[in-house]
Each structure stands twice: as C-alpha cells, then as structure tokens.
Copies of this chain bind each other. A is one copy, B any other.
C-alpha cells in the first residue's frame, strides 16, 4: 500500500519501521499477503483497514502497478501489486494492527534520501508519488485528501502542497467551479477568525477534470 495524505503542509506517505531483518530499522511500505479467498481490491481494502482504521468507502483506493524483479526481496521471490490510497488529513491515527511502528514521512524526504527505504520501496514510492501528482492534473482525486466537507482554499492547498507550487486563488476557483458535478455546495460556510467565511462543498460524482489543471 502506498497510502498518501497531506499533513502539516507536506505531501506524506504512511510507512512502517522494520523490526526484523532483512532491512531491519529501515522504512517500508505497509502491506501483506493475498488471502486464498479474496480479490485483489478486497485484499487492499483489508490491508488499509488494518494499517489505518480507515474503510475503503472513506478513501480513494486504486490499483497502481505490479513489481516483480527477481531479487527485490532477498529471502524469496515476491511479486507485489501496489495499491494507491489517498486519505484525508488528518488521517485516523494508526491502530493496533501490524503497524505498531507506522509513521508519516514526507515524500520529498524519501526522494531526497532513498536509502532510508527497505527493498525496492524507494522506487515504488517514487513511481507512486509521480503517478498521484500527475493524476491531480486531469482527475478529481485531490478531493480525496480533503475531509468530507471542505472549502476551495482547502482543495487549492492540496494542489499547492502536492505539487509544491503556488496557484492563483481566483483562477483556481473558477476553473474548479466550471467542472460539472465536481463540487456540490452544502449551503454552509466556515467560521474562522479574520477573513470572509468560505463556502463548504462536498465532492460530487465527477472523476475527470476536463480541461486539465496543469502544473508549470
């Protein structure tokens, strides 16, 4: 599982600290083995629930890609199918399961120093992060990082943090609102200190962002 979130102004991923060899002490992607009686998607949902206490209904969960290089686990041949999960911030703190040593790590810190990762997981993180970043351009998955109700600023901040670049709030507002069935008004607004209250929205049924919202 590549479980991404946006937390404390960073694009983060859920990792577990390995307590046993090989790669003892290094960070690894959480995951587990397919049960004999479950489909791939079901196994991913189960693993996600075990690691984060989040149900698949609350998050964006999609199959990403398979990895099967021969030496990727020094113990035996392992073919992995990596799933991508995008969870809202702050994500439910990790529960008791296998993931007692689960930590949130900023993606950019991993890309800057891949040696902190076990197995070929640094490469998987790199691939999955690039995939997620790219998908923000032409899909509505950014909303998966937001809570059930959110403002346009919340959504814009997701884009800015994941991409690491500033977007014009005015133009962002109009571009997003032009997409049919992306943001559904709730009729309510935020109350904060110092500033006009923002309208709250829920994510609608739209999945494609057309036209796309490009990075620089």
Q: Measuring CB to CB, which residues of chain A are less than 8 angstroms from any residue of chain B?
A: 34, 36-40, 43, 63, 65-70, 77, 79, 81, 138, 210, 212, 214
B212 touches A40 (CB 8 A): no
Assess whether A67 is in contact with B79, with CB atoms less than 8 Å apart.
no
**Closest 3 A/B residue pairs (Cβ):** A40-B68, A66-B81, A39-B69
B34→A79 contact, CB < 8 A = yes
By the criterion CB–CB under 8 Å, are A70 and B210 in contact? no
Please indicate which of the listed interface residues A65, A67, A210, A214 has the most CB atoms of chain B within 10 Å of its own CB.
Answer: A65
Cα distance A39–B65 in the bound complex, in angstroms: 13
Do residues B79 and A37 form an inter-chain contact, with CB atoms below 8 A?
no
What are the residues of chain B within 8 A of A66 when measuring CB–CB? 40, 63, 66, 81
Chain B residues closer than 8 Å to A36, beta-carbon distance: 70, 77
CA distance A156 to B40 in the complex (A): 38
CB distance from A179 to the nearest CB of B (A): 14
Chain B: minimal CB distance from A167 (Å): 18
Residues from chain B with a CB closer than 8 A to the CB of A39 are 68-70
CB distance from A138 to the nearest CB of B (A): 7
Which B residues touch A34, using CB under 8 A? Answer: 68, 79
Nearest CB on B from A208, distance (A):
10
In the bound complex, residues from chain B placing their C-beta under 8 Å from that of A40 are: 66-69, 79
- A43–B214 alpha-carbon span in the complex (Å): 35
Q: How far is the CA of A70 from the CA of B43 in the complex (A)?
A: 12
Q: Contacts A63-B65, A65-B63, A212-B212 hold; do A70 and B138 have CB atoms under 8 A apart?
A: no
